[in-house]
Every structure is written in C-alpha cells, then in structure tokens.
Amino acid sequence: MIKKPSAILQCEGITVSFDGFKAIQGMHLSLERSELRFLIGPNGAGKTTMLDVICGKTKPTSGKVVYNGIDGAGPIEITRKKEHQIAELGIGRKFQAPSVFPTLTVFENLEIAMRQRRSVFSTLFARMSAEDRERIDMQLSLIGLQNKASWRAGGLSHGEKQWLEIGIMLMQEPGLLLLDEPVAGMTDKETNKTGELLKEIVKSRTVVVVEHDMEFVRNFASKVTVMHEGRLLKEGTMDEVQSDDRVAEVYLGKRRDADVSRSTA
C-alpha cells in the first residue's frame, strides 16, 4: 500500500473472523483529514464491524489500523489498543441504537463526556469552570437541547437521544467521528435536522457514516465506500458508485434479478 501522508486514518488488510466466519476480508480504508465518508453496502457487508475495528470494540484477526489525528504526534498504530485509550486519542463512536446515560441529566451527560483528564483523582476534584459551562451550553444549542439541559436523558425522544449522543461525542473533541446509521428510526423532520447537524460537524473534523438511507447520502457531495461480503467493492462519488455495474449487481441486485427472472419467465 502507498502511504498517504495526509491520511488521518489508514486501515490495511483488515480481516475479522468470528468463529471461522470472515466478517471482513482484507479491507482497506484510508481517510483524508476533514473528509466526510459514507460507508454503504448490503446487510452483512461488514460496515458496522469495520467501525468496531477502528474504535477497538473488535480486534482484527490480521491487518492494522494507523491513526494520525494528533498534531505533532505522528502516526500511531491503534490496532491493539483498548477502547478507552482509542477514545482518548480522539476517535469517537456513535452506536446504532442511541446510547446515552438515561439517569444522568442531559447536562451531566455532556459534562462527563467533555474533553478532560479521565483519572479517578481528576474527576473526584473536578470543578465546573465558567469556560466548561460555556462549552456545554454551546454544545446544547448546537444539538438543539438547550431547553432540556436539566432533563434526565432517559426521558428524551428517540431523535433527541441520537442528537445527545452526537453531542456526547463532540464534547470529546474527537479528530475522527464514527457514526453508525445516525438517522435510523427518525422522522423526516428529525432526519433533516440531523443532516443540518452533520453538515455543521464535518466542517472541522473527519467523519465516517454508515448509512442505509440513500436519499440521505445523496444530500452530501462526498466520497462513498461500498462494501460487500467483507470486502471493498468500490470507492468514489455517489454518481460513480451508482453507475458501477458491480455495485448495482450486489446492492440493487435483487431488483434486477427479479426483473431478469420475470423477463425470462
């Protein structure tokens, strides 16, 4: 592989096998700084597993992940690092099901997520400075929850929880954000709002979004990576990807198969 010096993340030859089943087979993924990348593919293509590998939830059987998101630190291999260490390096992960802390208030959710020293000692004696409060208030208005700061997160609607989780991640000030289907289960209105939020977020950081909603993906003029059966199938703009025969075959294949079978029947 050719090393790209500007790449913030470089995944090389990632293979993941679960009890012999190969969820990912020799996948390559390289992300530029401040890039918005969509990861698409049919069910079981290995998209979520790929995010799991990057954030350390799943350890790859082979291959390596190199992160270069910290100024002056140079590339760091994170393949074998623990989840919390990877998070500390600046890789944030949003899961498909909204996962916020239901018994903490919205404000407290953001407070503990805020970029800060994570040791027991530091959190024991942490004090809320005016600056911290300002950061949290800014985040609250960005995700549109400023009126619900004192609510318990468990009482928020599905969409609000998703935004809060995005807020939790942004408070960590990550260099790289991994979002797994951020608009799944949202109403059209909520989806639009999330789209706006995403456009705001990508201005200053690299974001990878796993998405099923093609309409949503089309809103963004950005690069798309198509995965199929654990492999890289195609990379390019949405138009390039859509005009690709192999992509059409695996992604929209069923419809075409059906057409073919209907025409031959």
Partner 1 sequence: MQSNQWTAARIGTLIGYAAASAALFAAPLYLSDFRLNLLAKFLAFAIVALGLDLIWGYTGILSLGHGVFFGLGGYAMAMYLKLKASGGHMPDFMDWSGLTALPWFWKPFESLGFAFAAGLLIPGLLALFLGYVTFRNRIRGVYFTILTQALVIITTTLLIGQQAYTGGTNGLTGFTKIAGYSISNPDTKQMLYWITAAFLIVAFALCRFLVKSRFGKVLRAIRDGENRVRFIGYNPAIYQMTAFAISGALAGLAGMLFVLHVGIISPSMLGIVPSIEMVLWVAIGGRGTMIGAVLGAVLMNWGKSEISAQYPDAWLFVMGALFVVVVVFLPNGVAGLLGRLSFIKRRVTDHDKEAVRNPAV
Rule CB under 8 A: which residues touch partner 1? 55, 57, 82-84, 87-88, 92-93, 95, 99-104, 107-109, 111-113, 118-120, 123-126, 133, 146-147, 149-150, 168-169, 172
> What minimum distance in Å lies between the beta carbon of 83 and partner 1?
5
- Nearest-approach distance from CB 141 to partner 1, in angstroms: 12
Q: How far is the CB of 182 from partner 1 (least distance, A)?
A: 15
CB of 180 to partner 1, least distance (A): 12
**For residues 222, 227, 233 and 238, what is the CA-based torsion angle, rounded to 10 degrees?**
-20
| Closer of 35 and 52 to partner 1 (Cβ) | 52
What does the block give as tokens for 19? 């009890």
Q: Name which of 65 and 233 has its Cβ closer to partner 1.
A: 65
CA dihedral 238, 197, 228, 91 (to 10 degrees): 130
Of the pair 103, 263, the CB lying nearest partner 1 is at 103
**Would you say 118 or 199 has its CB closer to partner 1?**
118
Q: How near is the Cβ of 2 to partner 1 at its closest, in Å?
A: 31
Nearer to partner 1, 47 or 93 (CB): 93
Shortest separation between residue 214's beta carbon and partner 1, angstroms:
28
For partner 1, the closer CB: 98 or 230: 98
The amino acid that residue 226 corresponds to is V
